[in-house]
Amino acid sequence: MKIVEANSRHLSVPLKRVISSAGGTYPSMDLLLVEIRSDAGSSGLGYTSFLGAQGARAARAFFDHDVRPLLLGADPREAVPLGERLAAATKMRGRKGLVLYVLSAVDLALWDHLGVLAGQPVFRLLGGGAAPIPVYLTGGWLSYSEDELCAEAEVAVRAGIPGYKMKVGGGDVRADVRRVEKVRAVLGAGRRLMVDANQRFDLRAALEMAEALKDLGVTWLEEPVLTDDLEALRELGRRSPVPLAAGENEYTRYGFRTLLETRALAYAQPDVQRVGGVTEWLRAAALAGAAGLPVTPHLAHELHVHLMAAAPNAFWVEFFDWAPPDLFAQCAAVLDGAIAPPERPGFGVAFNPDALKRYAVP
């Protein structure tokens, strides 16, 4: 069997409203879709996402000009060795960032194809279980007023979702803490609250924030410092009264190994759309498990549910309710605060044909 087609699409999907975090302001969610087709007529779909669009055009160009030729003629059933060849062929262009976004989309397409070929969902190929996995709702953007913030937290309560994550890093620690206090009051004692700084702080400011949050029942402080500043993370992990989480901006098993060696984290957050796809995500999750850490991935709940079903150290799936109702024809749904992996072949995700036209970027 050989790959005879490898095509890309760039979608730009407007968000329900413009949102902002300490990382930037985002009017859209852009997607790079990669579809492979074999000489037997079978196909697989993978995709990666870019909140706010930055990098999406460059990623598509890299796939079209540099990665697609490496796929044509390859056996799509050999996802792991093919992934190793792609990594070797592109290593001089980058082992982090946009190159890994692209390789992640390709790996996802290969695993989706394997599921379609076998007539099985990906979680079954991985030996995973079908039990629903709890989710937490992500939101709490810095662009929200306090009333809007509390209203969204109330949505999580009414929907039976057991946790909620909000943003900090607006530039005023007291204002950040006041917002956290208000959300904690809405959630009550029975639901978890997570706080995400999006790499906003240096060590001093991160310690100040952690100290300010220590009595508010925060489950974790996420990405408090720059991902690359491992020494700051190591020291923060030693001194912070609040557990730390990170990993969404780390790449490959090698990057995760180095991150985990800081011994700073209480939760690991690999992102299948960035870390290198299914193959590298599983390796990162295994490293976290060997370090005694639960894994709780970043975004893409409809993809991560398959991987979490096969991860013995699975904790929660992040749920960001961003997609308009016309985008997906098929997609795993959140019900009663949890998500179950679908039994459809592959990842069980399909885009509406009209949406592919409506949101297409030439």
What architecture is domain 3-119+354-358?
2-Layer Sandwich (3.30)
Percent of the chain with pLDDT strictly greater than 70: 100
The token duo for 344 is 């459809």
Q: List, as one string, the DSSP characters of 94-162.
A: -SSTHHHHHHHHHHHHHHHHHHHHHTSBHHHHTT---S-EEEEEE---TTS-HHHHHHHHHHHHHTT-S
Catalytic residue among 10, 167, 304, 306: 167
* CATH 3.20.20.120, the chain: domain bounds: 124-351
Token pair in block for residue 165: 């994550």
The helix (H) or strand (E) run that includes residue 237 is helix 230-239
User: What pLDDT digit, counting tens, does each position of 135-171 carry?
Assistant: 999 999 999 999 999 999 999 999 999 999 999 999 9
167 part of the active site: yes
Tokens 């985002």 identify what position?
Answer: 26
- Residue 280 DSSP label: H
Q: What is the pLDDT of residues 46-101, one digit of tens each?
A: 999 999 989 999 999 999 999 999 999 999 999 999 999 999 999 999 899 999 99
The Cα 110–Cα 197 span in angstroms is: 34
298 is known as an active-site residue? yes
Given the residues 298, 301, 304, 306, select the one marked as catalytic.
298
Where are the domain boundaries for CATH 3.30.390.10 in the chain? 3-119+354-358
Architecture of the 124-351 domain: Alpha-Beta Barrel (3.20)
